Amino acid sequence: QKEVEQNSGPLSVPEGAIASLNCTYSDRGSQSFFWYRQYSGKSPELIMFIYSNGDKEDGRFTAQLNKASQYVSLLIRDSQPSDSATYLCASNTGFQKLVFGTGTRLLVSP
């Protein structure tokens, strides 16, 4: 069973802080990884994807991938109350299919 694991949270951070969201995966064959943000009652929206070891930055977001440790993380700098949402991690297991974690709820307090 190919799995993606996330802590359900909530992860609480004050406004302006760095939020660190983590994800582990079981399938060593996974090639790429995706972070989605989902507001309550809305559909998931893609934040970014990563497929190479190391860091990938996009604005306030940085994705980090460590394939040896089977670990993916998302850092959100200068967190804002509008970042409060559930963050979903997903891995591409091949054949254009994604496996999703259950998500981490982030709460950013003003």
Partner 1 sequence: DAGITQSPRHKVTETGTPVTLRCHQTENHRYMYWYRQDPGHGLRLIHYSYGVKDTDKGEVSDGYSVSRSKTEDFLLTLESATSSQTSVYFCAIIRDSYSYEQYFGPGTRLTVT
List residues near partner 1 by CB under 8 A: 32, 34, 42-46, 49, 88, 90, 92, 96-103
Shortest distance in whole angstroms from residue 39 CB to partner 1: 12
Q: Which is nearer to partner 1, 43 or 110 (CB)?
A: 43
Closest separation in Å from C-beta 110 to partner 1: 27
17: DSSP letter: S
Whole-angstrom Cα distance, residue 70 to residue 75? 17
Closest by Cα among 47, 2, 45 to 21: 47
C-beta closer to partner 1: residue 41 or 110? 41
* Contact (Cβ atoms closer than 8 angstroms) between residue 82 and residue 37: no
- Residue that has been written with the tokens 């995706």 in this structure: 34
Tokens of 85: 């949402």
**Least gap, CB of 102 to partner 1 (angstroms):** 4
Tell me whether residue 23 or residue 108 sits nearer to partner 1 (CB atom). 23
